[in-house]
C-alpha cells in the first residue's frame, strides 16, 4: 500500500488564495479592509517567529495588521488596558495575544478580556461554549485546519470513527467538537487512557495531539486509516532519528541535528505510520502550515460578522 502524504503547504496556499480574493471583494464592494492586531509580551524567540509569520501572512493577503510588542516587565493591568483599547476600536476586527505570557500575567484573565467577536484564536469561553453547542463561532485555528485537511483531501468524516489522542483546550477538545459537527463518532484519549493501542487501532481517522515525540507507533494504527499528526517536537539525537525516519528522509534529518542540534518531529513515528496508514500528514509540512491560514480566515469572518455582512 502506498501512503498518500497530505501536504499542508498545498492546502494552506489554496485557502490563502481564497482569502485574498475575499478580502479584495470586501474592500471593493463594502469598503471593508479586515484588521488583525497581534500582541506579544516579552522576548520569547518562538513567539517572535510566530507573530512575525502571522503579520507577514496578513500583509500578503491584503489584511491590515498591527504588531503590539510589549516589554517582559509589562504588568497585567497594562496589558488589560491595551486589550480594552483594541476592543473599543471599530477598525480592529481580530485580536490575538501570543502565548506564553510572562509569569506576572494571568493568561486566563487576558484571554477572557478579549471581545469574543474579535477572538480570532477561538479561545474565549463564549466561543468555546458556542462550539460545544454546535453554533457558528470562531473556532481555534489548528483544529479548524485539521478539518480543512480532511475535507480538501476528500477524506470521508461522516459516520467514521475518529480518535483524538490529546485533550488540550487548544487542540484536543475543540477538535473533538468539530469532528462531531462533521458527524464522526469521536473518542478522546489522553496520557492516562488504559490500553491506548486497542482504542486507537479502531480509528478510521487518528489524530495525534499529545505532545510526545514519536509516541504514536505502528501498533496504534489501523491498516488503511488516516493519521493526522498535530505534534511539534524536537528530536535531538541521531539514535532517535534512526527510530523515526526511513532512509530517504533520514540523511536530511541527521544533517539538521548536526547543524542546528535538532530536527522537528511530530507525535507520530513516521517510519511506522507510512507502513500502515493510507493518508498521513508530515511534520513539518502538515497541519502546522494550516494554523496561520485559518487565523487569516477567522479574521475575515470576524470582519464580516461584526458588520453583519454574513449571518452570525
Nearest to 149 by CA among 293, 274, 302, 298: 293
Q: Is 202 a catalytic residue?
A: no
pTM: 0.95
Q: Is the peptide bond before 100 cis (omega within 30 degrees of 0)?
A: yes
Is there a contact between 79 and 104 (Cβ–Cβ < 8 Å)?
no
Contact status, residue 36 vs residue 91, Cβ threshold 8 Å: no
Q: Which domains occur in the chain, in start order?
A: 30-115 (3.40.50.10860), 141-231+266-290 (3.40.50.720)
Greatest alpha-carbon span in the chain: 58
Selected catalytic residue, list 93, 115, 119, 121:
121
Place of cell 488583525: 36
Catalytic residue among 16, 22, 98, 204: 98
Q: Which of 111, 83, 7, 36 is nearest to 297 (CA)?
A: 36
222 as an active site residue: the answer is no
Alpha-carbon torsion 251, 256, 257, 263, what sign? negative
- Full pLDDT tens readout for the chain, 312 residues: 799 999 999 999 999 999 999 999 999 999 999 999 999 999 988 899 999 999 999 999 999 999 999 999 999 999 999 999 999 999 999 999 999 999 999 999 999 999 999 999 999 999 999 999 999 899 999 999 999 999 999 999 999 999 999 999 999 999 999 999 999 999 999 989 999 999 999 999 999 999 999 999 999 999 999 999 999 999 999 999 999 999 889 999 999 999 999 999 999 999 999 999 999 999 999 999 999 999 999 999 999 998 876 544
Q: Out of 16, 22, 54, 297, which one is annotated catalytic?
A: 54
Amino acid at each position: 500500500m502506498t501512503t498518500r502524504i497530505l501536504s499542508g503547504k498545498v492546502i494552506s496556499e489554496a485557502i490563502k488564495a481564497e482569502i485574498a480574493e475575499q478580502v479584495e471583494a470586501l474592500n471593493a464592494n463594502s469598503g471593508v479592509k479586515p484588521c488583525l492586531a497581534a500582541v506579544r509580551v516579552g522576548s520569547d524567540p518562538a513567539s517572535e517567529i510566530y507573530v512575525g509569520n502571522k503579520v507577514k501572512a496578513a500583509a500578503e493577503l491584503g489584511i491590515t495588521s498591527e504588531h503590539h510588542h510589549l516589554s517582559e516587565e509589562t504588568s497585567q493591568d497594562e496589558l488589560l488596558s491595551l486589550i480594552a483599547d483594541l476592543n473599543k476600536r471599530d477598525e480592529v476586527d481580530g485580536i490575538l495575544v501570543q502565548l506564553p505570557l510572562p509569569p506576572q500575567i494571568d493568561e486566563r484573565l487576558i484571554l477572557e478580556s478579549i471581545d469574543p467577536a474579535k477572538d480570532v484564536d477561538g479561545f474565549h469561553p463564549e466561543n468555546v461554549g458556542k462550539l460545544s453547542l454546535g453554533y457558528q463561532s470562531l473556532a481555534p485555528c489548528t483544529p479548524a485546519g485539521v478539518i480543512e485537511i480532511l475535507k480538501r483531501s476528500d477524506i470521508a468524516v461522516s459516520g467514521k470513527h475518529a480518535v483524538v489522542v490529546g485533550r488540550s483546550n487548544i487542540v484536543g477538545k475543540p477538535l473533538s467538537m468539530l469532528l462531531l459537527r462533521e458527524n464522526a463518532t469521536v473518542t478522546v484519549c489522553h496520557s492516562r487512557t488504559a490500553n491506548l493501542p486497542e482504542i486507537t487501532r479502531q480509528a478510521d481517522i487518528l489524530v495525534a495531539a499529545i505532545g510526545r515525540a514519536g509516541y504514536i507507533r505502528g501498533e496504534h494504527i489501523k491498516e488503511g486509516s488516516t493519521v493526522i499528526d498535530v505534534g511539534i517536537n524536537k528530536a535531538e539525537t541521531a539514535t532517535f532519528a534512526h527510530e523515526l525516519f526511513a532512509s530517504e528522509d533520514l540523511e536530511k534529518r541527521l544533517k539538521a541535528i548536526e547543524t542546528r542540534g535538532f530536527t522537528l518531529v511530530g507525535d507520530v513515528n513516521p517510519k511506522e505510520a507510512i507502513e500502515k496508514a493510507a493518508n498521513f500528514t508530515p511534520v513539518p509540512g502538515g497541519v502546522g502550515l494550516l494554523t496561520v491560514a485559518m487565523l487569516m480566515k477567522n479574521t475575515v469572518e470576524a470582519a464580516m460578522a461584526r458588520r453583519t455582512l454574513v449571518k452570525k
